[in-house]
A and B are shown apart, each in its own frame.
Chain A
Amino acid sequence: MKILVCIKQVPQKDAPLKLNESGTWIREDVSYEVNEPDAYALEEALRQKEKHGGEVVVITAGPARSQQVLREALAKGADRAIHLEDDKFVQLDSTNTARAIAAAVAEENFDLIVTGLQSDDFGAAQTGVLLAEILGLPHATIIIGIEKTDSGLHLKRELEAGHYQYVDLPTPAVLTIQSGINKLRYASLIGIKQAKNKPLRKVAWAEVEPKLSKNLQQIERLYVPVKQKKTEMIDGPAAEVARKVTEYLKNTARVI
């Protein structure tokens, strides 16, 4: 199978995020990492290749710094990478991001396209589904199991509240992958070495721009959420905190 994996670089989970001066985006001087569900999508692609042969190609859209997630993917075993490289890709909505990816891979015929079910930054959970619509392919979301069959794919979907469903799809198809579908691997030293010589194709903004349109949704402002509850913050040494919390539970909340 020839597999495309769409991955994104997002701020690290515990990075202290600050708003920019205009309150429209975060300050970009933070540490980044690969979006976690995308890491699972990559791992699943590598496992499918190991079972059935083929090729794994990774793609990302973002500034120069996001090359890091492609290098890591190559070190883990991806065969080559495509980088839609420009600061402007960060502010695209899901539809335009999907259009940019579709334009960058227009010459390739993938059997399978996988990506994480959502990103830790925007969290819109749309890019994979939109990519399927743009490419005219069937899709399935929130996948926690992939089995190749003679005619396509036998997939396990996660539903809400502990429910599941199997679906069958023909290939080529687009899947969004749920975290936890597999166990992530680490890059080996030899993998990291080999990654340096693997092909990485850069695609400039101008090459895909004709395929993009105006963002149909705009972030007017970004802000720290207004508190819904009055929170009693307790601090001090551990013993004192323990005493105060217990007092609260006993006398104020009356739950013990």
Chain B
Amino acid sequence: MADTILVVAEQREGKLNRVSFETIAGAQAIAKEMGWTVEVVLAGSGIASLAQELAGKAVVRVYALEAPVLATYTSDAYVFALKQLIQDKQPKLVLFPHTYQVRDFAPRLALALGRTLIADAIGYKHENGKLLFTRQMFQGKFAADVSFGSDGPWLATFQIGAFRGDQAEGSATVENISAAVADGPARVTPHEVFQEAKQAVDLSQSEVIVAVGRGIKEQKNLALAEELAKALGGEVAASRPICDNGWLPLERQIGSSGQTVAPKLYFALGISGAIQHIVGMKGSSTIVAINKDPEAPIFEIADVGVVGNLFDIVPALTEEIKKAKA
């Protein structure tokens, strides 16, 4: 029998996390190259319709792993149930989307299985019969090809956006499985997921965004970005450290913990381009990066790159743009 890849899909409160489809696409690509097959597991309670939705993809089988304790996510219940399933099914490879939920339980699951997890891969390579996973290191300054040093099951997570989620359709069978449940009371008590006060700005609707990072140095220098944004008719945003400092409200943060945007024009001023920021803006049509460090990873994805002092360049640029728009 061919080896299988098991994709662990994600849902919360009756909704599939769309990044699950990206991971399925990644699994399909690997399966095609290795001659393996793809199966999907979704854990939860009352998830029949979600499992059906997953079964509409080109995969062989979907496991609906159900138990009342899986209704709301806890790492303990997920690790216990998935460990049992993986031991029963013995997939060669287990793939996850690199979500906050997966980060919370997948390392524990790997160790409980006596295995390892390659986290936050952006792709894979098949070289001399060896499957390698590529991941970013040193905040995206380098990439590393990483191999597994033991037998399967191998576990890996794919970064959000590593694959496109619109892949081949199909019709798989859904298999219902009663999840294994640990004895004894739960250790972690989860409460409801919530959003803080309604966000006043929806940056995802902005066509032009001028984002600033650590390179802006002081809060008063934000005025430079505001002037440029005003000239372009855009909004000001920031990478995480700026919002951590309280220089801009959290609702203007772009990145994995903030908003995901894809404007027509994105200015990255003094932003080095750490992975957590890139995932929130790499879909932008035109990216202009200004940074003093020629090695900054932001230049990897920029359409226009300027290595230089943003305190000189940005005011000059604001004037030019005013002229051009006049």
Contact = CB atoms under 8 A, between A and B. Distances in A.
**Which DSSP category, helix, strand, loop or mixed, fits chain A's interface?**
mixed
Nearest to A127: B107
* B interface residue count range (under 10 / 10 to 19 / 20 to 34 / 35 or more): 35 or more
Contacts, number: 241
Contact of A223 (B103, B143, B193): B143
Interface in B75-125: 75-76, 99-101, 103-105, 107-108, 110-112, 115-120
Contacts of A121: 137-138
Given A120-B138, A255-B286, 19 more contacts: A14-B272, A123-B119, A123-B135, A123-B275, A129-B107, A130-B111, A142-B104, A159-B100, A165-B191, A167-B188, A167-B190, A179-B244, A217-B146, A225-B140, A231-B304, A233-B304, A235-B306, A235-B307, A253-B285
A170 interface: yes
Contacts of B306: 233-235, 241, 245
Given A232-B305, A246-B320, A253-B286, A138 B115 contact: no
Interface stretch (B53-61, B62-70, B147-155, B163-171): B147-155
A167 B146 CA distance: 34
Given A122-B137, A170-B187, A234-B306, A142 B148 contact: no
Contacts of B320: 242-243, 245-246
A217 B149 contact: yes
B145 interface: yes
A93 interface: yes
The 4 closest A-B pairs by CB, nearest first: A180-B244, A216-B116, A242-B316, A238-B312
A167 B101 CA distance: 13
Given A129-B108, A133-B111, A222-B144, A232 B304 contact: yes
Interface residues of A, number: 77
Interface in B283-307: 285-286, 288, 293, 295, 297, 299-307
A13 to B, nearest CB: 7
B316 A216 contact: no
B139 interface: yes
A220 B132 contact: yes
A192 interface: no
Given A162-B251, A238-B312, A218 B107 contact: no
Interface of B: 75-76, 99-101, 103-105, 107-108, 110-112, 115-120, 132, 135-150, 187-196, 199, 208, 214, 232, 240-241, 243-244, 250-251, 256-260, 264-265, 272, 275, 285-286, 288, 293, 295, 297, 299-309, 312-313, 315-317, 319-321, 323-325
A162 B256 contact: no
A94 B141 contact: no
A246 B326 CA distance: 13
B142 A141 contact: no
A246 B321 contact: yes
Contacts of A133: 107-108, 111-112
Given A241-B317, A242-B313, A17 B251 contact: no
A224 B144 CA distance: 9
Contacts of A186: none
Contacts of A242: 313, 316-317, 319-320
A124 to B, nearest CB: 5
23 contacts: A11-B138, A16-B293, A17-B141, A26-B138, A26-B142, A125-B119, A129-B104, A161-B260, A162-B250, A167-B190, A180-B243, A214-B149, A223-B143, A225-B142, A229-B303, A231-B300, A233-B306, A239-B316, A245-B306, A246-B317, A249-B286, A253-B265, A256-B324
